Structure 1
């Protein structure tokens, strides 16, 4: 096994989940192709610069684009999560946060499709994307949403929570409801607290300083402060550690992909390998 390639344990998880081709000419071995794709995103090089030991770069790019377009990486991630949930390996103390990813100049120029504009936003730092992430109590990705970097965290909270869908290996609906949610001050809003309360989801989210001052200024009319468990809140650092692991992939720490579909597939692949 070379540097940046899949270990035997990782391949044992993801290998059986890849789609099999039963017709047509014999194609390049799936493990070789996936190793080349992983090597490309872990090092951040261009497709044409992937070593020849992984086969033609065009083959790697075509296979990656095909798997990204048909949702292969998403299905693989859901299957890995379902296996973990079936053995009780998922800690449903869910932490949420977001991180900014600077977009390289090569990421610009794709055709604009829909309101997301390929999940690129312009700010004083240039073009950026934002990954909104929810992880379990062990810091493994449950769901993520990709947006432009100039979006507010709280406006995408419900979309992120709705994206949590862990299938059952047997009969039954996918699990979508955490036991408890941890979030920083960026998620401190009345709308979010109401949304969680209506779904009977307990949460630990600190108030912003302006909200505390406004509540005190109103006196009794301001109501009681929301419950806050400082000791439990310390466990939110697992989402920060997850971001650190994602950004060890140089091709994810900086976005080079023009389309949101390709970048999202690459982040999904990194998330999948964390479950190995």
Structure 2
């Protein structure tokens, strides 16, 4: 076992959930060796062609990662691990929400605008709400401009992608969402919370409602607060100074001040620490993947390893 590879205990937790047959009824290459190859690339950020020979042909490793990113296998494995943790009572449902901008390498641009249609095993795109989120009330994209389909946005630093995530109280990502880097944080609160869904180990619908939500001033909008109240989710979100001034100027029509628990708000650092853990993987800290669904698979694999090793 090489440095950073799956341990025996981690492999035992994943082995039973992995696909049995390959494409067109063929046999998969050794899953453990290939996953370790993908993990090596995600951890170090090397080019696929530069993978060490102990992982086998680099094309096999790359195609497996691309396939499992497209058909949702990485997300399925993450859900299985989250289910086991929730059944054991090891998920802290005081959820924090934030985002982080990721610089895209120059090689991440230039993907074809109209990829050929294919089956999920051969590179079909994932659900659109994972790479092109829309607001549930208006049905319009939560931002504008840029290469929305591949989640690349222009900024002063060049191409960027933004990762929006919700983290539990133990600094582990519960849900992930990609947008172009110029998208605002506030409109993505609802889409990222809609992605939170931890399946039950027995009978019942997946758990999707946190006990409490923590977020910074970027998320302090009436729509977001109304959405959280409608779902019965208590929250701690500070109010911006201009909002306070506007409410006071309106007098009795401005409504009551929003509650704010300063001591509880200090726990919001859990999502910042979750972001630091994710960016410890070099292929997450810098986007090298052209396709948004492939990069989403890279981030999901990093989140899976965090859950396995926390």
Please classify the TM superposition score into its range, dividing by the shorter chain length: over 0.9
CA positional deviation for 1:136: 0.9
**What is the alpha-carbon distance in structure 2 between the residues aligned to residue 40 and residue 14 of structure 1?**
19
CA positional deviation for 1:117: 2.3
Structural mapping, 1:53-132, within 5 Å: 53-112=54-113, 116-132=148-164
Unaligned runs of 5+ in 1: none
TM-superposition CA deviations, 1:87-118 (whole Å, max 9, x none): 21111101000000000000001123686320
Task: Please state if 1:29 is matched with 2:61.
Answer: no
Q: Secondary structure at the match of 1:21?
A: coil
Task: Please state if 1:200 is matched with 2:232.
Answer: yes
**What is the alpha-carbon distance in structure 2 between the residues aligned to residue 73 and residue 122 of structure 1?**
28
Q: Secondary structure at the match of 2:16?
A: helix
Moved more, 11-20 or 250-259: 11-20
**What is the alpha-carbon distance in structure 2 between the residues aligned to residue 142 and residue 258 of structure 1?**
25
CA positional deviation for 1:213: 1.9
Q: Secondary structure at the match of 1:95?
A: strand
CA positional deviation for 1:26: 5.4
**What is the alpha-carbon distance in structure 1 between the residues aligned to residue 179 and residue 294 of structure 2?**
13
- Contact between 2:176 and 2:195, CA under 8 Å: does it hold in 1? yes
- Say which of 193, 216, 237 aligns to 1:161: 193
Q: Partner residue of 1:190?
A: 222
CA positional deviation for 1:189: 0.4
TM-superposition CA deviations, 1:141-172 (whole Å, max 9, x none): 11111010000111111111111111111111
Moved more, 221-230 or 189-198: 221-230
Task: Please state if 1:260 is matched with 2:288.
Answer: no
**What is the alpha-carbon distance in structure 2 between the residues aligned to residue 16 and residue 33 of structure 1?**
16
TM-score between the two structures when normalised by the length of structure 2: 0.85
- Say which of 235, 242, 249 aligns to 2:267: 235
CA positional deviation for 1:25: 6.1
- Contact between 2:20 and 2:28, CA under 8 Å: does it hold in 1? no
- Contact between 1:157 and 1:187, CA under 8 Å: does it hold in 2? yes
Unaligned runs of 5+ in 2: 115-127, 133-147
CA positional deviation for 1:10: 2.4
Number of residues paired by the alignment?
276
TM-superposition CA deviations, 1:150-204 (whole Å, max 9, x none): 0011111111111111111111111111111000001000110011111111000
Moved more, 245-254 or 8-17: 8-17
- Contact between 2:42 and 2:302, CA under 8 Å: does it hold in 1? no
CA positional deviation for 1:48: 0.1
Moved more, 127-136 or 116-125: 116-125
TM-superposition CA deviations, 1:29-58 (whole Å, max 9, x none): 111111110001110011000101110101
CA positional deviation for 1:216: 2.3
**What is the alpha-carbon distance in structure 2 between the residues aligned to residue 261 and residue 214 of structure 1?**
42
- Contact between 1:28 and 1:55, CA under 8 Å: does it hold in 2? no
